[in-house]
Structure 1
């Protein structure tokens, strides 16, 4: 499985931002207020992934991968990679949505009270999306197997 490419995540975030900006321009008046807690759900997931990354990294560094009870099962490592890949996509899309909303809100803050009130929740969501992408990329990196030393030639 190939590692997640940063440019793919940036492209997804940019696409989500543009689509969100277009939609918000048309429908902002009918949207509910943005709570500070709206994007906060991404933070616990990012924290869990960082903790999981450190656990996986410790097991990989100590060569404790296997089917024994005190080892990291290879299927668990594969599931962690799948979680990291999915989370990086969710984080990038979320960050793009929050960024698109923020791009609309910033110029409107001086004339629309709701835009000024929605800015804080939008920033919380944007930062949460970025942190989720960072945590997911770290987890994916930690799941890589260490390089094997080259075989010694027979003498």
Structure 2
């Protein structure tokens, strides 16, 4: 499984942001721009909390397993793999969502914030971007928690045991 690359997530964010900003300009020129849902930052924050809680729980169980604490429950490798896949998928989607709401938010900030509704929409978009960053941070943390330790035997020039 490939490790998440922050540059790739940042690239997705920037490209999606530019495309959504252009789409918002075009949409506003020919009609009314659809609103940013109030639930968007809430749902993203809940996903970030779930990812962080999963990472903390797995980290505690792995630490207890490494230290051979009596009665400690081990971590099934498939559970850890599924958690990492969930985290990676969440990070990719959160990058897309952050770019989308970021582009709309920038459009709303540059267009005009005179109307109260536009100000609220820009606030919801900004909160969605922040919550998406939280999802990405929690997913990266989860991935780091579940990473296997490096194998010393794979070094070039190492003598076989």
In which range does the TM-score fall when normalised by the shorter chain?
0.7 to 0.9
Given that 1:36 and 1:124 are in contact with CA atoms closer than 8 Å, whether structure 2 keeps it comes out as no
User: When the two structures are superposed, what TM-score results if normalisation uses the length of structure 1?
Assistant: 0.84
Is residue 136 from structure 1 mapped to residue 139 from structure 2 by the alignment? yes
Q: Which moved more, 1:50-59 or 1:105-114?
A: 105-114
- The answer to whether 1:26 aligns with 2:26 is yes
Secondary structure in structure 2 of the residue aligned to 1:145: coil
Q: Secondary structure at the match of 2:42?
A: coil
Q: Find 1:100's aligned residue among 98, 103, 106.
A: 103
Specify the SS of the correspondent of 2:134.
Answer: helix
Counterpart CA distance in 2 for 1:51 and 1:127 is 18
TM-score (norm 2): 0.81
Q: CA RMSD in A?
A: 2.3
State how many pairs are aligned.
148
Between the aligned partners of 1:84 and 1:104, the Cα distance in structure 2 is 30
Structure 1 spans left out of the alignment, 5+ residues: none
1:50-104: per-residue Cα shift (whole Å, max 9, x none)?
010011111222236xxxx932111000101101110110111111111111110
How many Å apart are 1:130 and its aligned residue?
0.7
Structure 2 stretches lacking a partner, 5+ long: 67-71, 154-158
Tell me the residue number matched to 2:47: 45
Aligned with 1:22: secondary structure? helix
Residue in structure 1 matched with residue 12 of structure 2 by the alignment: 12
CA contact (8 A) 2:65 2:73 kept: no
